[in-house]
Structure 1
Amino acid sequence: MDLTYNTKNAWETFDSAEKACVFSFCEDYRNFLNTAKTERLVIKEAVKIAKENGFCDLAEKDTLVPGDKIYFVNRNKNILLATIGKEDILNGINFIISHIDSPRIDIKQNPLYEDCDLSLLKTHYYGGIKKYQWTALPLSLIGTVFLSDGTELEISIGENEDDPVFCISDLLIHLADKQMQQKMFEAFKGETLNIIIGSTPDKSSEKDKFKMAILKILNEKYSMTEEDFVSAELEAVPSTKATDVGLDRSLLGSYAHDDRVCAYTSLRALLEINEPKKTSVCLLVDKEEIGSMGNTGMRSASFEYAIGTIINKIKGNYSELMLKETLRNSFCLSADVNGAMDPYYQEPFEKQNAAVCGRGIVITKYTGSRGKSGTSDANAEFVFKIRNIFNKEGIIWQSAELGKTDAGGGGTIAQYVANLDVEVLDCGVALLSMHAPFELASKADIYSAYKAYKAFYKNC
């Protein structure tokens, strides 16, 4: 009997066959990342994958029976997928919930202007970013615009090889002496993160020649006018593609691992659950990076609406007590990423309770900051249940907090699900450079997450 707790490097446990599975799985994930760079595109891709695997829209079903596979889309920004279990749904549901929004640069509603013979777009950054990381970086513009006649227009510029890209400029080093002496949050202001989109004038215009040149291009290509920006959701995201990192290709570098790595792995896990004992749900939500507010975030009543609808279609009737009983008997993995110990920046981490790349999926009993502010702090009984499942199924896992006690911290959707009386535990992949435009994840950890989520659905 081993009296000590020791983590394992997953690569050391994989045989050649499983290692091949790791690389194959991560190739599929890479394609997903490159296809789905915004929350709307994630939902579009998730629906496509779901339909290919026998899922149908919840609205198409009048009744639900064990084995049915359904999905419910909320405002094109979150999706609930479920496989109906054999047990009474009032006995609870096995949830895995992740978020699909990621830090980015949003375009303002009245964005277009000109300065220094350049055309630019004003922006408002979304989520927690280090602003300097978004300068001198090729950006794509992706989003949805509703024109004045009601036409919905999908825009994607910068993703194809022959597309132009966009950029936020940075100050040349030769003149940056004062800037380099400032604190980072003072040197880079939100109002300076404006995107260069052109530099040619419209010769026929008497004023705002550079702005007018862009407006004419937008009108010719997309039938847009300046007012159409008001009813647009345009996001600037890195144009770079997900790519292998390292001579051994053991890491995957990409924008938006946080939290699409958990979204994709949990989705793939659910697809392979056919006749579960308990109803199994994969929920992909929006707005986590800004507090889970809004009608597409985890705090939205749309979650309870979807679960209530499922209960009604299974039982033939519904009451608030039935919903509360279902949630009270449910288990949930809050599938969100954690910070991996960085060899260059070890000081903010508490080594004994820090995640390490390659050592499997991370169990995080509590998140929050300082005195556990803003956390759900999972019950020991549930942590044991998950630990036991992972050990029995041979899952490589590790336990970790997010940094030293007073170093800062962060929150997840766990607290909001726990407030609904559900047993919740944070459980996800460790990342290097979290919230940067290019994050790193170990392929071993990505595959371990997929296996862990599948084990949860089968055994919880």
Structure 2
Amino acid sequence: MNPPTAARNVDELIDDLATFVTESPSSYHAAAVTAQRLVEAGFTQLGEHQDWPAEPGKYVVVRDGAVLAWILPQAAGPATPLRVLGAHTDSPGFKLKPQSTVTRHGWVQAGVEVYGGPLLNSWLDRELRLAGRLVTRDGATHLAATGPVARIPQLAIHLDRQVNAEGIKLGKQQHTMPVVAVAGSAEAAAEADVLEIVSRAAGVAADQVDGYDVVVADAQPPARFGAQREFLASGRLDNLSSLYAGLQAMLAADTSAAVIPMLAAFDHEELGSASRSGAAGPFLEEVLDRIYEGLEATATQRAQACAGSWHLSADAGHAVHPNYAERHDPANRPLPNAGPLLKINANQRYATDAAGAAMWAQVCRAAGVPTQEFVSNNDLPCGSTIGPLTATRLGLRTVDVGIALLSMHSAREMCGVHDVAHLRDAVTAFFTQELTV
């Protein structure tokens, strides 16, 4: 018997999200894959060094590991407001250091530096990929992604009898270097050179590589599980789940709306966003300058456009953990598949306010999706997002949302499969719905 249409749609969506995550082991891949999918759907990719067209159309531009896409409608004028879906492309983990091949005690290992705030223990005993970008002597940039080539092995319990009682203690320098080979002969060690491995995956010679940004990624494919296959386990759901929902909404948008829909996915959020491709950098503002210059907007009209605009900052949030319920707010208990989160913080770690909450309620009603609130326990510090940064830089009204996860910042996180569809539908309505707020 065939499943209902809604179930089939969710199945197709989650299968495609799994493909998207697998194709996006680094922020550079995520930006490139997003742009490629948009171009295949009729968007025009622009270069920052080019003159940009002013006529209506669908456009996308990539800067390093960030990607911005927008639709300029037929009726766009100098005061046409924006609807921006903000997300980020990077995830916490490890990044290759210079002198990335280290030989110790007969083993060849990858020299890595911790990137952001990963749950270190979650990276143990799993097969790992290397992925990122290489810049060769001719100035060309090459994306590279290996298969499973590395592993961070845990110490056997026979050599650490107290580990279950006292907990595992990992030194970031000493205990997180992945093994890639046994050193063996000089020839074997040369074959196991880490940069050589990555370069082969990119189809370039290692001696031609002048610079690289390469991260470690989980090699295990995403998988559904649960009594009714209602959960998805995957690396990088924080925050490829939001990027994917925004991408799907952009693909569903058209040029007839009285707003400019935009997908803005930034790099380096896990580090604080302070980079040329991060949300604290100039990328979004520079693109908006060029869009409104093409629309011949005056300073007053540009201010009017911003005053009528909304920014939906989409980043993952926390589901209540059944084994650690005391770490969550006692009254707000988000669950997977109960709808995307409206993220609220009195100290502006999230940018949601009353008007933003009302806007989100309108969007979710229009999309026919449930929603739920997230707020932190007062005794625990709250994380933050790109939302307050964009609100501060550009003055756009901003709301923080996202799907609920367990195991956030693990090498393998989990979410509810229906929440991905809920977020996609809500963002689609956000791009097209007439709002009264």
SS in structure 2 at match of 1:192: coil
Given that 2:157 and 2:163 are in contact with CA atoms closer than 8 Å, whether structure 1 keeps it comes out as no
Matches within 5 A, 1:43-54: 43-54=31-42
1:249 aligns with 2:223: no
Deviations 1:14-62 (A, max 9, x none): x933222222222221211111121111112111111121110245775
1:130 aligns with 2:119: yes
Change (3 A) 1:147 1:211: farther
1:195 aligns with 2:178: yes
> 1:405 maps to which residue?
378
> 1:436 maps to which residue?
410
In 1, the alpha carbon distance for the partners of 2:13 and 2:195 equals 41
Change (3 A) 1:55 1:211: same
Change (3 A) 1:150 1:215: farther
> 1:37 maps to which residue?
25
SS in structure 2 at match of 1:108: strand
Equivalent of 1:389, from 359, 363, 372? 363
Given that 2:78 and 2:302 are in contact with CA atoms closer than 8 Å, whether structure 1 keeps it comes out as no
1:299 aligns with 2:286: no
- TM-score in terms of structure 2 length: 0.89
Q: CA deviation at 1:151?
A: 5.4
In 2, the alpha carbon distance for the partners of 1:385 and 1:217 equals 49
SS in structure 2 at match of 1:407: coil
Equivalent of 1:173, from 157, 172, 176? 157
- TM-score in terms of structure 1 length: 0.85
In 1, the alpha carbon distance for the partners of 2:165 and 2:35 equals 49
In 2, the alpha carbon distance for the partners of 1:45 and 1:212 equals 32
Given that 1:124 and 1:191 are in contact with CA atoms closer than 8 Å, whether structure 2 keeps it comes out as no
Deviates more, 1:56-65 or 1:104-113: 56-65
Equivalent of 1:214, from 192, 200, 204? 192
Matches within 5 A, 1:80-159: 80-85=68-73, 86-148=75-137, 150=139, 152-158=141-147
In 2, the alpha carbon distance for the partners of 1:203 and 1:56 equals 49
Deviates more, 1:95-104 or 1:50-59: 50-59
Q: CA deviation at 1:146?
A: 2.6
In 1, the alpha carbon distance for the partners of 2:25 and 2:192 equals 25
Q: CA deviation at 1:327?
A: 2.7
Deviates more, 1:42-51 or 1:139-148: 139-148
> 1:280 maps to which residue?
261
In 2, the alpha carbon distance for the partners of 1:322 and 1:180 equals 63
Matches within 5 A, 1:301-316: 301-315=282-296
Given that 1:338 and 1:355 are in contact with CA atoms closer than 8 Å, whether structure 2 keeps it comes out as no
Q: CA deviation at 1:128?
A: 1.0
1:330 aligns with 2:309: yes
SS in structure 2 at match of 1:347: helix
The two structures, once aligned, show a CA RMSD in angstroms of 2.5
Change (3 A) 1:122 1:436: same
In 1, the alpha carbon distance for the partners of 2:260 and 2:420 equals 24
Given that 2:350 and 2:400 are in contact with CA atoms closer than 8 Å, whether structure 1 keeps it comes out as no
SS in structure 2 at match of 1:249: coil
Change (3 A) 1:215 1:435: closer
Change (3 A) 1:16 1:153: closer
Change (3 A) 1:46 1:320: same
Q: CA deviation at 1:113?
A: 1.8
Q: CA deviation at 1:325?
A: 4.1
> 1:224 maps to which residue?
206
Given that 2:120 and 2:170 are in contact with CA atoms closer than 8 Å, whether structure 1 keeps it comes out as no
Given that 2:82 and 2:306 are in contact with CA atoms closer than 8 Å, whether structure 1 keeps it comes out as yes
1:267 aligns with 2:247: yes
Given that 1:168 and 1:196 are in contact with CA atoms closer than 8 Å, whether structure 2 keeps it comes out as yes
Q: CA deviation at 1:135?
A: 1.6
> 1:353 maps to which residue?
332
In 2, the alpha carbon distance for the partners of 1:63 and 1:112 equals 46
Counterpart amino acid of residue 367 in structure 2: E
Q: CA deviation at 1:380?
A: 0.8
Counterpart amino acid of residue 214 in structure 1: A
Equivalent of 2:353, from 376, 379, 392? 379
In 1, the alpha carbon distance for the partners of 2:194 and 2:26 equals 27
In 2, the alpha carbon distance for the partners of 1:217 and 1:319 equals 50
Once superposed, which parts of structure 1, at least 4 consecutive aligned residues long, lie more than 6 Å away?
none
> 1:12 maps to which residue?
none
Counterpart amino acid of residue 338 in structure 1: G
Q: CA deviation at 1:374?
A: 5.5
In 2, the alpha carbon distance for the partners of 1:18 and 1:144 equals 38
Given that 1:258 and 1:434 are in contact with CA atoms closer than 8 Å, whether structure 2 keeps it comes out as yes
In 2, the alpha carbon distance for the partners of 1:410 and 1:31 equals 28
Given that 1:126 and 1:290 are in contact with CA atoms closer than 8 Å, whether structure 2 keeps it comes out as yes
Change (3 A) 1:231 1:393: closer
Q: CA deviation at 1:376?
A: 4.7
SS in structure 1 at match of 2:34: helix
Q: List runs of 5+ in structure 1 lacking aligned partners.
A: 1-14, 159-163, 205-209, 367-371
Given that 1:432 and 1:441 are in contact with CA atoms closer than 8 Å, whether structure 2 keeps it comes out as yes
The size of the alignment, in residue pairs, is 423
SS in structure 2 at match of 1:232: strand
Q: CA deviation at 1:271?
A: 1.3
Q: CA deviation at 1:451?
A: 0.6
